[in-house]
Amino acid sequence: MRGGKARVSLTGVLDDCFCDIESIDVFNNFKIYPRIQKLTERDYFRYYRVNLNRPCPFWPDDSHCSIKDCQVEPCPELAYVLFCFCIGGQYSQVANDITDIADCEQAQDLGAINSTLSNYTKEAFEDWARHDDAQDHFCELDDETSPDANYVDLLLNPERYTGYKGPSAWRVWNSIYEENCFKPRSVYRPLNPMVPPRGKECLCLEKRVFYRLISGLHSSINIHLCAEYLLDEGWGKSLWGPNVQEFRQRFDPAETKGEGTRRLKNLYFLYLIELRALSKVAPYFERAFVNLYTGDHQEDRTTKELLLQFFNDTKAFPMHFDEKSMFAGQKMEAKTLKEEFRLHFKNISRIMDCVGCSKCRLWGKLQTQGLGTALKILFSEKEIKNLPEHSPSKGFQLTRQEIVALLNGFGRLSTSIHQLHNFRALLKEKR
């Protein structure tokens, strides 16, 4: 906030549920966050199979660059600019061009995927594929079977600031909000200030939920970028850490026309939805024949034990979101709303293919699939309750891809709430 004290604070009960923010903070930061961090470091959860080469179906790809003259074409070579300078170009223009190129090259470097994998790991993936192919599937596998998909080590590719911003990022998020969300018309559009707000519009609970989920996901991603910001880049070593000013610009009510608090509340709401889904899906994994296969039996056993312990923790939360309040109307109306959710969400997944930064696309696709998997679980409560005890090929199914996305996606939300606690402490210090 410019010229005054920071006012980013959250307290009280969330809308559309009976849970207070303080309870979520304590539960997450002291119980859930340590467990989910340990769990997502296990081999089963650290590798995510994804196709980062699928073309954007809505507009031409603008690659990694997010600055003027560097959005569609590859970044020009620095030598070319220096050559123009030598034959008489004005120094001020050349200096600006060099700065722009440096910014663009930084965005390319920071947004690039680290695809380093050992030969042993590559051989293990072939074994995983044989194991997974032997299972019966009842859903579209998409990235899991695409010949263009590859495994990515998530620990080598952390979600953090990449320099990807500006019109390219605006277009992705505006497309998600404008084309997919059942959006309250009174909400201020933070990404494109040229779009004026429209009159108020009331939404039923189901459509409010959908908008709040997308807003919460957007807030979570922004917190990660602020918390893991490139503060300094020295000789072969980068300094990463929290950028308080960037955080204020995105969440301080004075900087966001009062929307910052609502964005953060939507993050907590999304956390509750996914937490509820995790508590509901536990019976699927509690069956003896369900294993988290990596080929190392001891590793698999330990990972499943950690996962079941984690599920027990999620069940212990006393103020879960009541999913029965969703789709509680007439049977046909409820069925239509569920299908509408599914189609909107499928379109959001396709929009993620338009993200012009590989690392941003990786985490965007993973968290979108994680949220989609959580909704699939909440929509399948009856199927999960009636799971066959001894038949893995019947009833409700989750693929490896969905499981990895579900746990890592929730891990990102848990990390966001933990990082938010750290930002509050930093803001108090600066008062």
What's 170-189 look like in SS3?
Answer: HHHHHHHHHHHCCCCCCCCC
What tens digit of pLDDT does each residue of 77-133 get? 332 232 222 333 333 333 444 345 455 555 555 656 666 556 656 556 565 565 555
Q: What digits encode the pLDDT tens for the residues 252-289?
A: 998 988 899 999 999 999 999 999 999 999 999 999 88
| Alpha carbon distance 265, 125 (integer Å) | 39
Is position 357 annotated as part of the catalytic site?
yes
**Rounded Cα–Cα distance for residues 248 and 6 (Å):** 7
**Catalytic pick among 70, 75, 354, 357:** 357
| Cβ(25)–Cβ(421) below 8 Å | yes
State the burial class of residue 305 (Cβ atoms within 10 Å of its Cβ: 0-12, 13-18, 19+).
exposed
State the residue for tokens 């930061």.
Answer: 29
Q: For the residues of 61-111, what is the DSSP string, one character each?
A: ---S--STT-SSSPPPPHHHHHHHHHTT--HHHHHHHHHHHHHHHHHHHHH
Any domain includes 64: no
Indicate yes or no: pTM above 0.85. Answer: no
| Across 175-201, average pLDDT | 52
Range of the domain at 128: 21-59+112-158+271-430
- In-domain check, residue 397: yes
Is residue 335 situated within a structural domain?
A: yes
Q: In the predicted model, is pLDDT for residue 398 greater than 50?
A: yes
Q: Does 385 map to a domain?
A: yes
User: Would 312 be classed as within a structural domain?
Assistant: yes
Report how far residue 12's alpha carbon sits from residue 422's, in angstroms, rounded to the nearest whole number: 19
Q: Which residues are documented as binding site?
A: 160, 162, 173, 215, 218, 250
Q: State the amino acid at position 191 in one-letter form.
A: L
Q: What is the pLDDT of residue 166?
A: 82
Confidence of residue 30 (pLDDT cuts 50, 70, 90): very high
Residue at 395 is within a domain: yes
Predicted confidence band at 188 (pLDDT cuts at 50, 70, 90)? very low
Name the domain count of the chain.
1
What sign does the dihedral 30-31-33-37 (CA atoms) show?
positive
- Which parts are annotated binding residues for FAD? 160, 162, 173, 215, 218, 250
Q: For residue 357, is it within any domain?
A: yes
Highest mean pLDDT among 137-146, 167-176, 409-418: 409-418
Query: Is 425 inside any structural domain?
Result: yes
Weakest mean pLDDT among 146-155, 193-202, 243-252, 376-385: 193-202
70 as an active site residue: the answer is: no
The candidate with the shortest Cα–Cα distance to 420, out of 10, 144, 69, is 10
